[in-house]
Amino acid sequence: MALIPSSYSLVSSLNLLFLLSLQCKVASSAIILSLRHHHNQVNHKRPMIHANQSNCEVFMGTWVRDGTYPLYQSSNCPIIDPQFNCQMYGRPDSDYLKYRWRPLNCDLPRFNGVEFLLGMRGKTVMFVGDSLGRNQWQSLICMISTSVPQTQTQLVRGEPLSTFRFLDYGVTISFYKAPYLVEIDVVQGKKILSLEKLDGNGDAWRSADVLSFNTGHWWSHQGSLQGWDYMELGGKYYQDMDRLAALEKGLKTWANWVDTNIDKSRTKVFFLGISPSHNNPSEWNTGAMTKNCYGETEPITGTGTTYPGSYPDQMRVVNMVIREMNNPAYLLDITMLSAFRKDAHPSIYDGDLSPGQRANPDYSDCSHWCIPGLPDTWNELFYTALFY
C-alpha cells in the first residue's frame, strides 16, 4: 500500500523542490551574467579581482583535482594528431588530466555532447586560425564523440579546410588553417603577408553558424620559423616591422571584415584568447635547472585572480581590437587560466618528433597542449557560452 504524505510533509517537499529549483536558476543566472559581463567589458590591464567580489567570474578561479576527469580517453578518439597525443607517445604521468577549472563563486555546467549536437543540429561550427585552433577543434570532436560512440561520422582532411561531420545530427565541425587570419600570397616565389587583405580566406567562413577565431603565435616567429618573406601594408613592402604593430593591423583587418560580412543575428563569433607558452621556468620556479616545461607535472600554485609571470602584450592588442568592433566577437578569455597549466604541454611526448628528438628535453613543445587536457576546458567554456 502506497504511503500518502501528510499535508505538512507535502508542503515541506514542495518547498524543498522550489528551493532546489531556485538554486539551479540562481547558479545558471550567475554564469549567464558573468559571460555577458565579460563580453561587454574586456580588461586592458593585468587581470585582477578583489577578494570580496561576490559575482561569478568564469575566467577567474582555480584548478581543482577531480577524479571524474578526463572526459574521454585518447585511445577512444582517432582524430588526435600525433603532436597532441601525449599518452600514446609515452608520457608516463597522468595527474595532469585530473584537473577541473572552478570559476570564482560558481561552477561550469558539465559538458554534454548529446546536448551540443541537438543544439547545433543541421549547423556548422568552424575554428579558424593556427595550430592552437586545431588543438581546440580536435578536443571538441573527442568530447562529443565519447557521448555518441555509435553515431555515424565522416572526416575529410584538407588544406586549408578539414571537416568532421556527425552525420546523424547534420552537425559539421571544421578547422580552417589561417595562422594570421589575413592572407598570405606567393609572388615570384616570395611569401607576402598582406596586412590589409582577407577576402580570399573569408569566402570560406561566411556560411558557418558559429565561428571561433584565433591567432598570435605565428606573428612573433623569427628565422626559419617565420611564415613570410615580406609584409605588405598600404601598397608598400617591408622585410620586417614591429610585430605587435603588425598584429594590430592584421586584427583590425579581420575585425572590419567581421563587422562588414557577418550577420551577428545568425552567426555567433568567438575569439580565443592568446594561448600562453611555458618556455621560461623563471616565471614559476626561481632557480630551476630546467630550460622549459620539460618534466613539469603539476600546475603553477596559486589562484586564477592574478596573472602568473608577464601578461602577454599580444593579449592587450586583442582586447583593444575587439573592444573597438561595432559588433564585438565574444572573447573566450582562456589566457590566464591556461597560464597556470605548465604541466599540460606535450613536452617531448610529441609523435612528430624522432625517437632521438624525444630523448632530448631541448625539443620540448611548450606551446601546444596535450589531448585530452587543457583544450577540453576551453571547450567547456565554449559550450557554456553557446548554451547557457
Q: Would 20 be classed as within a structural domain?
A: no
The dihedrals phi and psi of 197, each to the nearest 5 degrees, come to -135, 135
What is the pLDDT, as a whole number, of residue 262?
96
What is the pLDDT, as a whole number, of residue 40?
53
Four-point Cα dihedral 222, 228, 229, 230, nearest 10: -110
pLDDT digits (tens, 9 = 90+) for 13-68: 434 444 434 444 444 444 545 555 555 554 433 333 223 345 788 999 999 999 99
What is the pLDDT, as a whole number, of residue 75?
94
Alpha-carbon torsion 327, 124, 139, 71, what sign?
positive
The residue assigned the cell 617565420 is 226
Query: Catalytic: which of 38, 278, 345, 368?
Result: 368
List the one residue out of 71, 375, 46 whose CA is nearest residue 214: 375
What is the pLDDT, as a whole number, of residue 49?
29
**E strand residue ranges, the chain:** 57-65, 99-104, 124-129, 153-156, 161-166, 171-177, 184-187, 190-194, 210-213, 230-233, 236-238, 268-272, 330-332
Q: Tell me, what amino acid is at 361?
A: P
Q: Would 298 be classed as within a structural domain?
A: yes
- What confidence tier does 78 reach under pLDDT thresholds 50, 70, 90? confident
Q: Would 52 be classed as within a structural domain?
A: no
Mean pLDDT for 336-346 is 97
Instruction: Give SS3 for 102.
Output: strand
Helices 7-40 + 374-387 axis angle, to 10: 110
What is the pLDDT, as a whole number, of residue 305?
78
**Range of weakest confidence among 72-81, 123-132, 146-155, 302-311:** 302-311
The dihedrals phi and psi of 373, each to the nearest 5 degrees, come to 155, -145
Report whether pLDDT(101) > 80: yes
Q: How many domains does the chain have?
A: 1
Q: Would 301 be classed as within a structural domain?
A: yes
Query: Catalytic: which of 34, 74, 131, 174?
Result: 131
Active site residue 365: yes
Q: Would 243 be classed as within a structural domain?
A: no
**Bridge partners (DSSP) listed for residue 156:** 163
Q: Would 2 be classed as within a structural domain?
A: no
Half-sphere exposure at residue 332, Cβ-oriented, CA atoms within 13 angstroms: 26
In whole angstroms, what is the distance from residue 139 CA to residue 156 CA? 17
**Bridge partners (DSSP) listed for residue 211:** 126, 269
C-alpha cell at position 224: 626559419
In whole angstroms, what is the distance from residue 347 CA to residue 96 CA? 13
What is the pLDDT, as a whole number, of residue 27?
44
Average pLDDT score, the chain: 87
Q: What percent of the chain has pLDDT over 70?
A: 85
C-alpha cell at position 185: 600570397
Report whether pLDDT(168) > 50: yes
Other CB atoms closer than 10 Å to residue 273's CB: what's the count?
Answer: 24
Query: Catalytic: which of 139, 365, 367, 376?
Result: 365
Report whether pLDDT(269) > 70: yes
C-alpha cell at position 206: 561566411
**Range of weakest confidence among 161-165, 279-283, 291-295, 343-347:** 279-283
Active site residue 107: no
Q: Would 268 be classed as within a structural domain?
A: yes
The residue assigned the cell 573527442 is 142
- What confidence tier does 309 reach under pLDDT thresholds 50, 70, 90? confident
Question: Rounded to two decimals, what is the model's pTM?
Answer: 0.87
Contact indicator for 127, 91 with CB cutoff of 8 Å: no
Report whether pLDDT(112) > 80: yes
What is the pLDDT, as a whole number, of residue 145?
97
Instruction: Give SS3 for 143.
Output: helix
Q: Would 63 be classed as within a structural domain?
A: no
What is the pLDDT, as a whole number, of residue 63?
96
Domain around 155: 75-179+199-215+256-387
What is the pLDDT, as a whole number, of residue 53?
40
pLDDT digits (tens, 9 = 90+) for 131-167: 999 999 999 999 999 999 999 999 999 999 999 999 9
pLDDT digits (tens, 9 = 90+) for 232-244: 999 999 999 999 9
Mean pLDDT for 302-328 is 91
In whole angstroms, what is the distance from residue 100 CA to residue 62 CA? 8
pLDDT digits (tens, 9 = 90+) for 176-234: 999 999 999 999 999 999 999 998 889 899 999 999 999 999 999 999 999 999 999 99
The dihedrals phi and psi of 259, each to the nearest 5 degrees, come to -60, -35
